[in-house]
Chain A
Amino acid sequence: AQSVTQPDIHITVSEGASLELRCNYSYGATPYLFWYVQSPGQGLQLLLKYFSGDTLVQGIKGFEAEFKRSQSSFNLRKPSVHWSDAAEYFCAVGATDKLIFGTGTRLQVFP
């Protein structure tokens, strides 16, 4: 069955530090992969997506993610975190039209 695992429930970083959020998926075919961000009390915003091609994808707000088929991973990265990046981050896999979400990682940013 398709599934998405985000091993880190909560991550705390200092402003200006680099960030990597982990995501592992289980899917039998080539996946469509997504990262969404949800700020407190807000809806979901798409950060980036991977459909095919270049395995390093660039998104909005300075985020990037790398698809590694051998590791079944799609980790999200940002070289320098801003206080406004504090939010909940969800990795998701598109599976036969459905979108399956991971459990989310809550990012806290200290000044």
Chain B
Amino acid sequence: SAVISQKPSRDICQRGTSLTIQCQVDSQVTMMFWYRQQPGQSLTLIATANQGSEATYESGFVIDKFPISRPNLTFSTLTVSNMSPEDSSIYLCSTPELGHGYTFGSGTRLTVV
């Protein structure tokens, strides 16, 4: 199955700044998903990123706050913009694999101070 390298693994950021999270897949994949896991909570889908098209955002998430890039079939980035302490979460990328389910990156633990 595919392997996803996600970085950074963790970061502490000042409020008002932005952080870009990267996910690199070792094979070409059509779809990539970005999730947020707030402290003590489950995973919530932020958006779906397809190569060559605009990302599709779930209710409650907007492009200005979470811009996503998908320049090719092996790479995607999620930016958390103008951060506030409420953005402190684990962010994960994922891709579906036919017959295998979903593979996840190791996550980015973000703390906003």
Contact = CB atoms under 8 A, between A and B. Distances in A.
Contacts of B99: 51
A43 B105 contact: yes
Interface string A69-111: 0000000000000000000001010100111111110000000
Grouping DSSP codes into helix (H, G, I), strand (E, B) and loop, the A interface class, with mixed when no group exceeds half, is: strand
Interface residues of B, number: 19
Contacts of A99: 33, 45, 94, 96, 102
A27 interface: no
Interface in A3-32: 32
Interface string B102-113: 101111000000
Interface residues of A, number: 18
Contacts of A34: 101-102
A97 B97 CA distance: 10
Contact of B107 (A43, A100, A103): A43
Contacts of A49: 100-101
Contacts of A56: none
Contacts of B48: 97-98
A6 to B, nearest CB: 9
A101 B25 CA distance: 22
A98 B48 CA distance: 8
B101 A90 contact: no
B63 interface: no
B42 interface: yes
A51 to B, nearest CB: 8
Contacts of B44: 101
B96 A94 contact: yes
Please provide the 8 A-B residue pairs with the shortest distance between their CB atoms, ordered closest to farther: A43-B106, A101-B43, A44-B104, A49-B101, A101-B42, A103-B42, A104-B42, A43-B107
